Each structure stands twice: as structure tokens, then as C-alpha cells.
A and B are shown apart, each in its own frame.
Chain A
Amino acid sequence: MNKEIENTLFVNGQTVEIADEPNLLEVIRKANIDLPTFCYHSELSLYGACRLCIVELEGKGVVASCSVQPEPGMEVRTHTAALREMRRTTLELLLANHPQACTTCAKNTQCKLQDLAQRFGIEDVVFNRPVKERPIDDSNPALVRDPNKCVLCGDCVRFCAEVQNVGAIDFANRGAQVTVTPAYNKGLGDVACVFCGQCAAVCPTGAITPNSAEQDVMAAIDDPETTVVAQLAPALRVALGEEFGYDPGTSVTWQMVAALKRLGFDKVYDTSFAADLTVIEEAGEFIERMDEGGERLPQFTSCCPAWIKTAEHFSPDLLPHLSSCRSPQQMFGSLARRTLPEQLNTTPEKLVVVSIMPCTAKKYEATREEFHQNGKPDVDHVLTTRELAGIIRGAGLRFQDLEPESFDLPLGFKSGAGVIFGNSGGVSEAVVRYAHEKVTGERSPEVDVHAVRGEEGVREAQISMGDRTVRMAVVHGLANAQRLTEQVRQGTCPYDFIEVMACPGGCIGGAGQPVSFDENIRQKRKAGLYAVDKGLQVHHPQDNPYVAASYRDAIGEIGGEEAHDMLHTTYKTRQRIAGQELSLANSEATGQQLEVDVCLGTSCFLKGSQDLLQALAKYINTNELGEHVEVKASFCHQKCGRGPVVKIGDKTFEHADFDTVRGTIDEVMQNS
């Protein structure tokens, strides 16, 4: 066999070279044949469930090409009459169990099932026996789950488990009853879902979609009493164009601003302005932590709300390591609510702040109670990139023909550092641009920090700032982030500063961005953002005159008390399952008993609370105190740094041990 034949196979008679493709499906795609699939995703593990990528393999019969290793000399047929009939039948079977109301679905025109039904010319579904309708979960601000539209490809389940290591959703039940659901059929808002929305991003149908705020925003615009302002996230400008026929990565900043003005927004600002603020506050905090000796290092970034929620659920013991800075969205909101009413001749109550974000977690972030003033959220509504595109289309605007317009001042002016926040590595680069000067007193000769740019899930860089070397890590994907938190716990983490973004590639890969089947989409958007930076006059946050003015007029000193009040926040631990507790009490609870509540949350559990609970239970048992003492375990008292935490009556004990608890119980018993 000569080398050529050794490395080729035949697809419908055409010779195709085998490179290092992991499976036959990829080889066939290379031959420009688009075999349909639902469950194949090159970044996730092989699942093999949709059975649409079937081919006929000489000598083997019908096989799923995703599950076959390409071998030289294979003869593959992809579109025989039998294959076409089977694919059609499989699609019909899926459609028989799928709502037919495409026009009212959030995924209309971008649904793979709809697309395939059209491609296969399915006009009529002969089967008509859907299973029982399942309730829709729209109990949280970020995501809506409609299990009736689920084709059970499992992409969301695998993304959540493999890339994010969150595991908020999984398959439940068996056979025709199988469904994808959070534990115990709870709503996503009641479990450890971090709202990154990547489940929605990979969902081929409308089974998981961002929770739309379009109606609320349009109502606010229609209300003559309100002043509606928008803040636009960096990653938006290189992706929105995709919805209107631009190549991915093309910056459409000025048309975008124009469109928002036409839609009736009173002012259009740039979240990148707030990102400049974030850089200054966060770098200041980092330098302070370095100076104090490194107790609170590594410092994790806090711009990504999905990462913050992840840390609150899974690493509550490490919350002191998070930067206390609010995300740019919330810094903007805070500043806007305080300073804009006066500038715009309105009141804080009548000012409506709308964020337009590439992100679903931002929808949830805006609802966090820390970001409310006088009962009103700093950011009223959050739209995704796709929702904005929908509104623009709905208004009949011809996006490409709009005359460019510029952002409003002052909150629309930014440095390039604030723009590259949308890329993984961008926050780190921006911090270096600022911190280098802050630490050494002089500016680094190179503006760009190539060491932190790139694609890999975990990247590291050593940055010299005078006589200091800062060890930085940039991660995207929450599984990668959790590997680092584990290192911190073990004391083996070699970094000082860790940037975490939940989504692949950072915000440009956010779940609110346009749906695309282009595998290079993230690289193109990333390049687009770096190009925008290049095109701006200012690249350093410290050069942004409006930032300086804000500190002077509104915020006060960098890192000062007012700055903390306006631009920083606090975190809290979160339970895996909201509101669950394990009652160990006697069945005949009288309500008169002394309540002893031992925390079994992750952190306390690791610190030995289970042993404590067992010892306690045994003690109650042997001393027959069951009548007087009610033992309970709850899944988090939210004091994870100080576990094991035990509540006895109304007293809370931190770092509790068995002797203390027993002593207290005995004391109470004697007194009563």
C-alpha cells in the first residue's frame, strides 16, 4: 500500500484523506457533507444517541458515524434510499413528541429540529401521540426550561458536567419518561445552577432558552414618564452583526448605538467605561493584598456572575479570595443610579437602566439583593445580544443602513482595556496595563500583554513589575476554575492572580450571543475585540479622563470608603438545594425541644461535621435525651470559613467540637 491509500477512505466513492479526525463523522464533514446530528459536539464526550449521523459502511452495515474510528480503505455511503428513510423516520419520531408551535418558540428559525424537518421535507407526521405535557420552569430570571421541547440529546447535561463541573441538571427517569431536570424536579433557581446558560447555547431546540426581558424593556421605552438608558457590554459589538449578515468578529459598534437610539433609548452608554473602573479598583485591591503578605492571594476576579455563584455554591471557604469588586455591569448600575438622574433631569425612581449583555447570568446578577438601592435594582432589565437583535428586527430597522452614531458621554467613553474584557484574558491584560504603572511608577513599554492571550482552558503567565513578579492564571470553563480552587485548598496553587470566565473564550462565547454553527466563531470574535482596542486612542484605564472625573465628582478616593460602598460587594454561601434540611428528630416532635442544628454543607462536611453529628446523635441516644433535644442537619449556615457550625437554640457555635456542644446541651438541660 502506498502512503496515499494508507491514509484515505471513500465517501460515496470520493476519496477523502484521514488526518487526525477522532471519528468518521468528522472525516465525512471534511468532505463537505453535512451529516445531521443532535448529540455530537466536538468539545463534549461521545454520546451516540440521536442516530442521525448513520451511514452505510461496507461490510458492517448501518453504523453511527460519530462512533466509528476512521480506517484506511473504508467505503462509506451517506445518502442511500434506506438511510434517507431511516433518518426521516427518526426525525418524524422526534417530531411526534415535540410541540408543533414553531412560530411562537424562542428558538424559531434557529432550531436544529426545525431546520432538519425542512431539509428532509417532512410535511406531515403520521404519529400523533405525545407523552404527557410537562410543566415549564421559568422560576428564575436567567433561563427558561421547557422539557416538552427537549430531544434528549444530552448536550446540556454533558456541558454542565464536563466543561463546567456544575452538574445542575441531569437525566432522570427511564424510557419514554426520560427528562432532563435539576435534582428532584426543582426549578433551576432552587439548585446549584450558576446560570452560565451554556446549556441553552448548546441546546439544538428551544428546550432551554434565555428568559426574555424584551417585553419589559419595550414597556419601559413606551412609558413617557421614564428615562431609559442602555449600557452595552464589550462582547456585543463583535457578535451582534452576525444576526444581520456581517462576518463574525466585525465590529458594528456605531450601527448598534444608532439602532438603540432609533428604538427609543434616551441615552446609550458603554459598559467598557465601568470596566475601566473595575480595572482600577481590582488592581488596587490586588496590590493591597500583595502588600499585606499574600494571605488573601491568589485573588480571583469577580466580573463573571456565573463564576461568583459557582464559588458561593462549591467553594464557600474561598470567598475571601474573590475580589470584592462588583462586575462592570453592576458598577455601571450603581454609578448610573447615583449620578445620572441629576444629569438627565429625572429621579432615581424614573431612571430605567437596561443592560445588553452576551450573558444569561447577568440577568440573574442584576436581581441579587446586594445590587439594590432602596428596594430598586441598580440594573432594571438585562437583554441578551440575541434579544436585542430580535427587538431591532421587530422594529423593522434596516441595521446595515443605519447612520453610525456614537456613545453618549460621560459613561460612554472607555479605554481599550475596558473593551478587551470580553475576551478570556482581557481582564488580566487590563489589570497589567494599569498595575504596572501603579507598582513601578512607569508604563510598560508594550501595551499588549500577549502572555495572557490564547485559547487554552488554563493559561499561565509571569509578569514582571519592577522587582515583583506576578504569577497570573487565566481560565475559562468552570471545571478548570474548580481545579484551581482545589489547588488553593491543598495549598499547591502557584498563582497570585486568577482570572475566571465561565464561558468558553470568555464573554464573547456567552450564552446570550447569536447561535452559530461556525467552529471558529470564538476566534473571530476575539480577534474583533482586539482590533477594536487597537482602533481606540486610549488603551489604559488610567488615561480615561471621564473615569478620573467620576472619581473626582462621585466616587472619591480609589479603594476608599465611598468607592467600597458604590463599587464593591460581599458574597454569601449558597446551599446546593435551597431550603433543604435533614431532620433527625424523634417522630413525636413536641415543639418544646431544644433545637440543635448541625451544618452539613460542603465546607463543614469537609471539616468533620458529620462525625460531630454522629457523636451527638449517639450521645442523645444513649442518654435518652430524645424527648428534650431535637437534632437537625441543614445543608448550610453560610459561615463556611468557620465550620463546623452548630446552632443550639438561638446560639451559634463556630469551629464547634463535640465537647463544646455536649457541654452546652447539658447546661441547657440542667437549667430547664
Chain B
Amino acid sequence: MNAITAKTDLDNIAETYRKAQEAAGRRVIVCAGTGCVANGSLEVAKAFEKQIAAAGLEVSTFLQTEPDHNTVQLSESGCQGFCQMGPLVTILPDNILYTQVKEEDVAEIVEKTLRNNETIQRLLYVEPGSEKTCERVDQVPFYTAQSRTVLAECGTIDPRSLPEYLAKGGYKAARKVFEGMTAKEVCGEIEEAGLRGRGGGGFPTGRKWELTRIQEKTPKYVICNGDEGDPGAFMDRSLMEGNPHAVLEGMMIAGHAVGATEGYVYVRLEYPLAVERIRQAVADAEEHGILGDQVFGTDKAFRIHIMEGAGAFVCGEETALMASIEGKRGMPSPKPPFPAQSGLSGCPTVINNVETLATVPLIIRDGAQAFRSVGVKTSPGTKTFALTGHVANTGLIEVPFGVSLATVVEEIGGGITDNNGALIDGSFKAVQIGGPSGGCLTQEHRDLPLDFDSLKNVGCMVGSGGLVVMNENTCMVSVARFFMQFTQNESCGKCVPCREGTRQMLALLDDIIEGRSTEDTIPTLERVARTVQQTSLCGLGKTAPSPVLSTLEHFHEEYQAHVDQKRCPAGQCKALTVPEIDPEACVGCTACVRKCPVDAISGEPKKPHQIDPELCIRCGACAEVCKFNAIKGI
């Protein structure tokens, strides 16, 4: 379908879809984000199809026929965010949210809710603590405290349906740009909006585009960086899976703004669903004349290629990513030259992350002023975060820049939990923000507004947007070690400070955790960390020591206890713990004696046992098997 008179045809498709949807009765949306799929949501969706048909209702997954009011539209959505309660099922128009839905619940939902308008109480979300039952999505505190803008459609629309994206006003921003705005105007609008890059440093997107636009060399490229590699971050994956057309639309606008006719989406290999969705979205867009040699029937071209990563965290760094697209080892190269001047294959290139690009159409659609009305002056708009760790509600969230840390952790997160997930009194010990490149925030930062500059002022960064909440039982040295292990594994090995420095920092942290440290260990660790931070070649190397430096700053006493007293205040470092059996609690059942792999436990039946700390290897097998919580210190 080329030479399409795109305007009217696309409008028609949107209008037809809208009408069909209005005509349909209810809509069942099954979350098919990766989290819910892992919990069996695809089986749930299949069961719906079968059961709805069995109940004599018509099922329509793509609304191709003219439906009557008996039709139930069944669709799968991208990530709805509340991953921990999945599989999630939303029923429109009543906006009922069923949580942890299993295959065997489906018949009941069809019978009661779809046929008889009854709500099934046991499948509703109950807020822990207040025990309040939430009937509708907009009563769930996890959602009410958020401000879902970029994620607004992600989790409701069918990511495989171009008509639905069009019906929601999709590609209108791109059309506005291609049909009536100059490249300079687009760059100006984005700069006016104050949009800053969501992937790391927060560089102003409009300025980046303008720098690329003014380059004379052609061709130029637009790259969407979907190589989201931080452990515990999945915002970009959710967007690519849940609303792929928004990402493509953002790329098209960027392409028009800088004068590029080709774009690449670089998706990490570990996101097969995102690859599939983007691939299909590109194919659909090409078929409808949205992408191709005559975009929207104009004489402008824009094509998008998809490149799958091959398993290297460092490829999230833009120069490494481009090396990878060029078929080389993903090793960063010095900047300058910046990609805007000399990027992919030496050509001017604009490279933005997924969320940034998905935000762009909203700015063009609603205008820079509307965008600026949310968030704070230097960080306008909203930001998605992946909220995980010791909080009641974990998942994907979106909040305006500038909300306080406490709001996120306590209101959206719903409070702090113990290691088993049970809500506890008290507050968080630390929140790690920005993954292995970020730092930690503590109680003193409770009221800190979460935005680019406030975080930078306390030595942290928004980074990719991972938020890991940690309770009082967390050992901060071990946390630093965990992230250092990650960066060390993922260092590309090119520059000396990162390659050798992360290795030695990891070894020094091991010394601290395993009781081999001396009074020189911490000063040496700090010295190496400073060198790596200041002198590494790329951004990943420069930020690799952040978890160490930040925990050293906020939890120096905890480090010192490990070194001076060979003691782990949180009781987590196995080598520093002294295992013992509580004689009050032990009933002498001998379960632990039989389980111990090294025969470190002795004692007669029915009498309290003893554990030999010298023989014990701290594997914890005894504690696992003990029904009386008598094993202490492991």
C-alpha cells in the first residue's frame, strides 16, 4: 500500500476502529508484559478466548468485523506496571482490576463479570495494612499516586494494533511535523519543552538534535537506544513491548528534526518480546506508508532498521552501541568527536533512549508549555522508574519530576517489607537509584525531590531509573560489592582504570566482606575509586565507582565495623558472622545435625545442640531446616 494518500486513509482507519470499539460492549485486557507472561498470563488470555466463545459471546481480538453490543473485545497489553500482582486483568468500561488471575478463574470471570455484571471480590486488590479492597484501577494507591503520561497507553492499548494506536491519536504528532514544521522548528519546540535525555546524564534533547541538524555531512542517522542493561530496570522494555508505535513516532520526529532518513532501534537480545513487537510495528507502519520513501505521502523518506544486541552491557554507551551496529567489538571510543558530529559510520547521528523518544510525540501533540507544566523547572515532565526491593508494591511507575523520595517509597511503594515480603514498621535504610552507575539515598534524603539536578547535587543520578529500596537488614558493603561485581563483569576491558580498577575494587570489597581487610583497605579503595571515576574513558567507567563512593560516604561506620571489628552490623556477611544455636529455642530435633554438610553441629536428641564456628561454612542449610528459628547468626 504505497502512494497512499496517507492523511485520509489513516484517518479512516482510526475512525473505523473508534466506532467499532464504541459499538463493542466490554473489553478484557490481559497484561502480556514479561512479568505477567512469566506468571502465565498468555494461558489466561487463551482461556478467555475459549470461555467467552463457550458462553456464546463473540470474541474479537482485532475488531475487524462490525461488532454488536454482545461482542467482547479481548486484547493483550504491554506491561501494566503492577508486576508483582500479576497476571493482571482489566475489564473496561468499568475499569475493574483483577489481580493474580489464574487460568481456572477465567470461567468464573466470564460467567459473573462479563455476563452478569458481578464483581468477584476475591480477585480484587486489597491494600496491605489498611485492608481496603480496591474495585477499580483508579482506587489502587499504587496507581493513584502516579502520573502516567508516557505510560498512559502502555498497559491499555493492544501493542500489536496500529489501528488502535491511530485511534488514540497516534502518529498525529509525526504528521504535524512532516507536513508542516521545519527541522529547526521541531528542534526549537523540543528545546523549549526542556526535555532531557532519560537514559543517563540528562543532556537536553533539543540541543542534541540541533547540534546534529546543523551538520552538513549526510547521511544522518537516528538511533533508539534500547539496550537497557541495568539489573532491575525494565522501563524501556515495557515501552517497547507495550507501545512500540510511540517509540517509532518519536524516532520519525527526531529524523525529521535532524535531517536523517534512516533509523536504528538497538534492542538487547534478552528482550525477545520487545524485538518482536518493534519488528511488527515497523512492518505495519511500512505497510501503511508511515515509514518508507514517502512518509505520509510526502516526498520525505524515513526507514527504521532493527538491530539485536549480542549480550554486552557496555553497548548501552552510545559510542559502543554504534561500534556494535558497525559490526565491531562494542568498545567505547573517546569523545569528542560526539555522535552529533561523527557517529554511526562517521556520520552525524542522534542517539536517544526509548523513553525520551516515546515522550517526544506527546510534546509535539500537546506543546512545549503543556509539557513544562509538569515536573520542575530544570527537569520538566515525568519519569518512569522501576521500583523494586523491600517495598510492598513493586513494579513500573511514572511520576512527575520533583516528587519526594518518601512519596515514591511510602505512597506508591506502600511501605517497607522484611526479606520475606511482609510489611514491617519503620523505614528504609537506603534506596539505590540508577543501578550500577548510581548511588544510594538515605533517610536524610527523604524529602529530596527526584529530579536531574537535585540528585546530581547529592552525588547520584537518575540514570536508567532503577529504584531499589533496602530495609535495615541490608549490608551496604555487600550492596556495593554486588554492583561492583556487575560492572567488573561487564567492563569492556579497553581503558586501564575501568578494566584493572574495577577488578581491584572488587577484590578490596571481598577483603572487607570476608574479613581480610586492614586499615589500608578503605583508603586504597577510595583512591582507586576516585581514579576510575575521574579518568575512565566512557560514562560507564566513570560511574562504575558510584555505588562504592556513595555507600562509603553515607555508611562509613558500617564499612569501618567490617574492617576494625570484623563485624557486619546487618549480619549479612557470612564470613563475619558467628553462628550459634539458641538453647532456649532448640528442642533437639536433630534435623540440623543431619542436614549439615560439614558435620559442624553436634548434640544429643531432645537436648539443645551446639555449632562449631570453626567447622561451619555458613551455608545456612541448618537455618533452612530448623522449624524453631533456633539458628542465629547465619
Contacts and interface: CB of A to CB of B under 8 A. Distances in A.
A89 B336 contact: no
26 contacts: A46-B334, A48-B333, A48-B495, A52-B496, A64-B334, A64-B535, A67-B334, A85-B531, A89-B497, A90-B500, A93-B497, A93-B501, A93-B528, A96-B504, A97-B500, A126-B520, A127-B504, A127-B524, A129-B503, A151-B496, A152-B494, A174-B491, A174-B492, A175-B488, A175-B493, A176-B491
Given A67-B334, A129-B507, A152 B535 contact: no
B488 A176 contact: yes
Interface string A172-201: 011111100000000000000000000000
Nearest to B314: A174
B528 A89 contact: yes
A403 B279 CA distance: 81
Contacts of A97: 500
A93 B492 contact: no
Contacts of A322: none
B483 to A, nearest CB: 15
B345 to A, nearest CB: 15
A166 interface: no
Interface string B534-556: 11110000000000000000000
Given A86-B531, A126-B524, 12 more contacts: A46-B334, A49-B537, A61-B534, A62-B534, A82-B534, A86-B534, A89-B531, A90-B496, A93-B501, A93-B531, A129-B507, A174-B312
Contact of B536 (A46, A51, A82, A96): A51
B196 interface: no
B530 A49 contact: no
Which residue, B335, B507, B537, has most C-beta atoms of chain A within 10 A?
B537
Contacts of B496: 49-52, 90, 93-94, 151-152
Contacts of B488: 175-176
Given A86-B535, A94-B496, A174-B493, A127 B336 contact: no
Nearest to B493: A178
A619 interface: no
Contacts of B491: 174-176
B176 interface: no
Closest 8 pairs between A and B when the two form their complex, measured CB to CB? A178-B493, A48-B334, A67-B334, A93-B500, A89-B531, A175-B491, A51-B535, A62-B534
B495 A49 contact: yes
Interface string A52-76: 1010000001101011110000000
B256 interface: no
Nearest to A68: B336
B537 A51 contact: yes
A126 to B, nearest CB: 6
Contacts of B217: none
A244 interface: no
Contacts of B507: 127, 129
Nearest to A51: B535
Q: Which of B491, B493, B494, B500 has the most CB of A within 10 A?
A: B500
A177 B493 contact: yes
A120 interface: no
B493 A51 contact: no
Interface of A: 46-52, 54, 61-62, 64, 66-69, 82, 85-86, 89-90, 93-94, 96-97, 126-127, 129, 131, 151-152, 171, 173-178
Contacts of A69: 336
A54 B536 CA distance: 10
Interface in B178-226: none
A85 to B, nearest CB: 7
Nearest to A90: B496
Contacts of A152: 493-494, 496, 499
A175 B490 CA distance: 6
Nearest to A176: B503
A171 B329 CA distance: 9
Interface string B494-527: 1111011101100100000000000010001001
Given A48-B333, A152-B499, A90 B492 contact: no
B493 A173 contact: yes
A51 B495 contact: yes
Nearest to A95: B500
Nearest to A64: B334
Contacts of B369: none
A171 B497 CA distance: 18
B499 A175 contact: yes
Contacts of B528: 89, 93
B493 A48 contact: no
A129 to B, nearest CB: 5
A67 B494 CA distance: 15
A54 B501 contact: no
B493 A89 contact: no
A47 B331 CA distance: 10
A54 B535 contact: yes
Contacts of B531: 85-86, 89-90, 93
A205 B44 CA distance: 63
B489 interface: yes
A68 B496 CA distance: 19
Contacts of B497: 51, 89-90, 93
Among A49, A68, A86, A126, chain B packs the most CB atoms within 10 A around the CB of A49
Nearest to A174: B493
A152 B531 CA distance: 19
Nearest to A153: B496
Contacts of B520: 126
Nearest to B534: A62
B500 A86 contact: no
A171 B492 CA distance: 11
Given A67-B335, A176-B493, A85 B536 contact: no
Contacts of A51: 495-497, 535-537
Contacts of A49: 494-496, 537
A66 B501 CA distance: 21
A90 B490 CA distance: 20
Contacts of A46: 333-334
Nearest to A62: B534
Given A86-B530, A173-B493, A178 B499 contact: yes
Contacts of A67: 334-336
Interface string B15-33: 0000000000000000000
